[in-house]
Chain A
């Protein structure tokens, strides 16, 4: 273009740049739309089939930028030749052909031709790219939609391994309990069904809820075992007292008999009598009677003594099995008796356990509320007669120790409501509030009852 008049060259350069931009905007939208569609399809496929690719999916937004590279190559190959730009300029300025002639002949004679004056008044073509950019928005929305699709965890060999791993220790636990005859067939069936349900859920989706379900089940098993052991211990204690009374030649009291009967019933309900000696079962009555609590202890002292002895032997054997459970090493089958806090009767920290094992000792916060599984009303809250000398009348309380939080006695006052009663107290002062009169009378009544007993 060096042969062209100087006044014309800037116009041609501007036109060449405008044409290049127009060419880019003509080609790039198709590639951008294609890249968005491919990225969106890839995102959908990964969401459905390849869960491992989830962390990398946000990088798909780089697709239209990456598509600029081939677009640049295509634009370079389809770039307008200077002669083509000159032809466009000539056509847009009236089609006189003078510009093309000057380019081809390099004859300066006609450099000031009137036809070139029209070229100086040439207006650059306007960009009209919005219609081409519209599909980009639609394809971008497709990618957004694809990325918002929830990730599906596919059932593959790895997921199956994970699912099996979730329930492996539960299965081992159930096997051990079964081996120790600590599970009734119904309990075993129920546990196995529950384990299978957890495993199937884990096959669909392995996440925190799978482990929490396994932890909840582990705690449930532990609670059940605790109940059984509690029933066992209670029965042993009742039997011991009953035997002690019999040995002392005293007839067991009605309370002792009732207690023993309740303990045996609890044992039967927990399945601890399923493998009891047949003599014991025969002497106590039918199995349905035992489980329903309608059995009768033998009235004959000798028979009663025999039942008690055999029952004690059976219970001792069961207790030994519980003891064996405690002895199982931690790694064998991943059965960890230390997880059952009550087994060791040690003070367990109330808080999280090992990772992946839950550790909320009170169970899952969203666990289903069940009624009827409350702790058995035995031995914890049984009233025990206080030794003499320790009972104090409520009239002459004296502080045992000057503790900052100990309540101190104050004059009786009449209060209309509990709110007024404790009004004005907050923080540490709440610990120092006066004992209310009705509490006063309740404590007094309690100790009066204890003395009469």
Chain B
């Protein structure tokens, strides 16, 4: 049964939200030069209250981005440098035996996960057990130790980073764990003009000072506005067809999917696309999600959720390339024009 459609955001509400988001993005672009798309993806994911996996070579501004976000959003920020000897309790916290008033008792000391914005640097360096501790916290937004459950702060974001090189001694995140990240953003290097700008505007690469642009309340209002963005049924149908096409046995799956994908995306992928597309629509000043937003966010939202076949590695296919093929093959509307009609570009 289709729920009653909620009233659309008013133009004033959309304008106000767009203004706040634009300020945030503008400030981030002052810190991270030459990566507009990456910033948009991260902001959209944050507005959708999702976790972000950043993959890129060292020195491309991953940590600076997270630090800037924490400053601009007035959020509590913690950083964990993942190493092979990191223990789960180093993330979640542990009970420590303390003497107080002549009595010895266990006291829980919160781990760095108890924050608003957590930067998990080089998450693939820690052991799977440690990774699981963080990922459980990401999913549940709570921590359970010694039978006691503690809720994490709200909002709670994890921005994890991965180094695509130096894979010796690392523990790649399993696919089930990757699914918990709403988007995976690949950070590429900067071009010459951006380097020049960095050199001219930064001393020792230090970012400019930043002031908060949004309070916690403002952020909560943004979250509410994003949730109110309308998702038309036809667009939801498009999202569902895209996700369904990632499965090799699906009827409409394109050839690369049938050849190189072992397992497709879970429903979390469709939910992630819908959520991020809402954030992107609001960022663009729209009260609704359109086909264009879905096409824009499908790649970062789905690429890391596919389980590739060994043949994909041999042929040089990765998740991004497969998603690009799916976007080419799956049309916007389920029932397109009759074959006797040809669209004319306006």
Chain A residues in the interface with B (C-beta under 8 A): 18-19, 22-23, 25-26, 80, 83-84, 86-88, 90-98, 100-101, 104-105, 107, 109-110, 115, 118, 121-129, 132
Contact = CB atoms under 8 A, between A and B. Distances in A.
Nearest to B11: A109
Question: Helix, strand, loop or mixed for chain A's interface?
Answer: helix
A148 B42 CA distance: 74
B292 A96 contact: yes
A91 B338 contact: no
A23 B8 contact: no
B5 interface: yes
B10 interface: yes
A256 B187 CA distance: 139
Interface in B288-346: 288-293, 295, 331-346
Contacts of B334: 87
B8 A107 contact: yes
A99 to B, nearest CB: 9
Given A84-B333, A95-B295, A97-B292, 4 more contacts: A92-B343, A96-B291, A109-B8, A126-B344
Nearest to B289: A97
Given A104-B232, A109-B11, A95 B344 contact: no
Contacts of B331: 91
A247 B341 CA distance: 113
Contacts of B147: none
B346 A118 contact: yes
Contacts of A125: 337, 341-344
Given A25-B338, A127-B340, A110 B233 contact: no
A127 B341 CA distance: 5
A93 B346 CA distance: 7
B287 interface: yes
Contacts of B343: 92, 125
A274 to B, nearest CB: 86
A91 B341 contact: no
A126 B341 contact: yes
B342 to A, nearest CB: 5
Nearest to A124: B344
Nearest to B237: A87
Contact of B333 (A91, A107, A110, A127): A91
Contacts of B339: 22, 26, 132
A22 B337 CA distance: 8
B233 A98 contact: no
A100 B340 contact: no
Interface of B: 5-8, 10-11, 230, 232-235, 281, 286-293, 295, 331-346
B338 A105 contact: no
A121 B346 contact: yes
A91 B334 CA distance: 11
Contact of A105 (B8, B235, B289): B8
A256 B289 CA distance: 130
A351 to B, nearest CB: 67
A104 B7 CA distance: 10
Nearest to B294: A95
Nearest to B292: A95
Contact of B235 (A23, A93, A100): A100
Nearest to B234: A87
Contacts of B291: 90-91, 95-97
Contacts of B287: 101, 110
Closest 10 CB pairs of A and B: A97-B290, A95-B291, A22-B338, A100-B232, A101-B288, A22-B341, A125-B341, A96-B290, A87-B234, A91-B332
A88 B234 CA distance: 10
B344 A101 contact: no
Contacts of B342: 125-128
A16 to B, nearest CB: 12
Given A104-B230, A125-B344, A126-B344, A96 B286 contact: yes
Contacts of B6: 105
Contacts of A92: 343, 346
B95 to A, nearest CB: 51
A132 B336 CA distance: 18
A26 B335 CA distance: 14
A132 B339 CA distance: 9
